[in-house]
């Protein structure tokens, strides 16, 4: 009986001691994975915005009444024609979904100078222009 009790005590102490001290590689892996996964969404958003911007390259025409007759996108550069003829830029948005569009017009249009551009299904571009707290104008475009 003593041998059995001593064997159980020895086995139990070995199990308890193996759990103490040192680092558990599973815990280290979990911490490392959590750190990497928290970085991945930001990296994926940037990559997605870059892919989205290059997929938007080309000339677009509005499907709604707009002072913009055409909008041509090349990389992060934008050029509009019509009543609102302007150069502009595209930048990935930090806080919102989509890409920030900024038009640098000689004659400023208070309703269409900065907004959020979204690329929908590869066939539509939607610009939600910054405006009053309840919302600005929206322009929708299809490929010309």
Residue 125 within any structural domain of the chain: yes
Name the percent of the chain lying above pLDDT 70: 62
Residue 75 within any structural domain of the chain: yes
pLDDT tens digits, one per residue of 4-22: 444 454 454 444 444 544 4
One DSSP character per residue, 103-117 reads: E--SS--TTSSEEEE
Query: For residue 3, what pLDDT is reported?
Result: 52
Residue 106 within any structural domain of the chain: yes
- Other CB atoms within a 10 A radius of the CB of residue 136 amount to 18
The total number of structural domains in the chain stands at 1
Which position has the token pair 């870059």?
50
Cα of 86 vs its chain's centroid, Å? 26
**What is the residue range of 104's domain?**
53-143
Residue 33 within any structural domain of the chain: no
Residue 11 within any structural domain of the chain: no
Residue 122 within any structural domain of the chain: yes
pLDDT(50) > 70: no
pLDDT(135) > 90: no
In terms of Cα–Cα distance, which of 60, 128, 67 is closest to 93?
Answer: 128
Residue 34 within any structural domain of the chain: no
pLDDT tens digits, one per residue of 55-106: 889 999 999 999 999 999 999 999 999 999 999 999 998 877 889 999 999 9
Residue 14 within any structural domain of the chain: no
């Amino acid at each position: 009986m003593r041998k059995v009790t001593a064997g159980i005590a020895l086995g139990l102490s070995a199990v308890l001691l193996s759990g103490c001290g040192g680092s558990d590689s599973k815990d280290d892996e979990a911490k490392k994975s959590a750190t990497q996964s928290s970085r991945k969404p930001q990296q994926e958003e940037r990559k997605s915005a870059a892919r989205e911007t290059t997929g938007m390259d080309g000339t677009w025409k509005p499907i709604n009444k707009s002072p913009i007759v055409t909008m041509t996108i090349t990389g992060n550069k934008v050029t509009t024609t019509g009543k609102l003829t302007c150069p502009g830029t595209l930048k990935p948005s930090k806080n919102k979904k989509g890409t920030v569009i900024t038009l640098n017009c000689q004659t400023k249009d208070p309703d269409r100078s900065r907004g959020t551009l979204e690329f929908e299904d590869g066939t539509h571009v939607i610009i939600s222009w910054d405006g009053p707290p309840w919302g600005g104008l929206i322009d929708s475009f299809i490929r010309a």
